[in-house]
Amino acid sequence: MVYSTNPDFSFECDEEETTETLPKGQQKLRVSIERKNRGGKTVTLVHGFVGTDDDLKDLGKFLKNKCGVGGAVKDGEILIQGEFKERIIELLRHEGYSNTK
């Protein structure tokens, strides 16, 4: 908040930028497998999603449900417990995420 004695001063509120979710066909999702810093456990990472956090959480919930495993959505990435790279790529392409590697 800024205080000013200038009578012509107008306060402008900087609103947070809301990221709109790109259509499924325009998403450039990347699927990889990671073992580092996980205590020897293997996780499958999905990154590159452009959109709201709620849409990312919904996609993470969908993938965890279809793979039958646990996971998390953190820092704009979806973490799926286990090695499910091929299955996740197949599920994403079936859902319409055509630009998935």
Cα–Cα dist 29/24, whole Å: 10
Q: Match 């995420």 to its residue by tokens.
A: 97
Asked if residue 5 belongs to a domain, the reply is no
pTM (two decimals):
0.77
| Angstrom distance (rounded) from CA 28 to CA 19 | 16
Q: Give the Cα separation of 72 and 77 in Å (integer).
A: 8
* pLDDT score recorded for residue 15: 58
Q: Is residue 60 part of a domain?
A: yes
DSSP state of 99: S
Domain span at residue 54? 24-95
Helix (H, G, I), strand (E, B) or coil at 94: helix
Shortest CA distance to 51 belongs to which of 72, 30, 76, 16? 76
Instruction: Please check the confidence at residue 18 and state whether its pLDDT lies above 80.
Output: no
Q: Are 96 and 25 in contact (CB under 8 A)?
A: yes
Tell me how many domains the chain contains: 1
- Out of 16-20, 43-47, 91-95, pick the least confident: 16-20
In a domain, 52, yes or no: yes
CATH of the domain at 42: 3.30.780.10
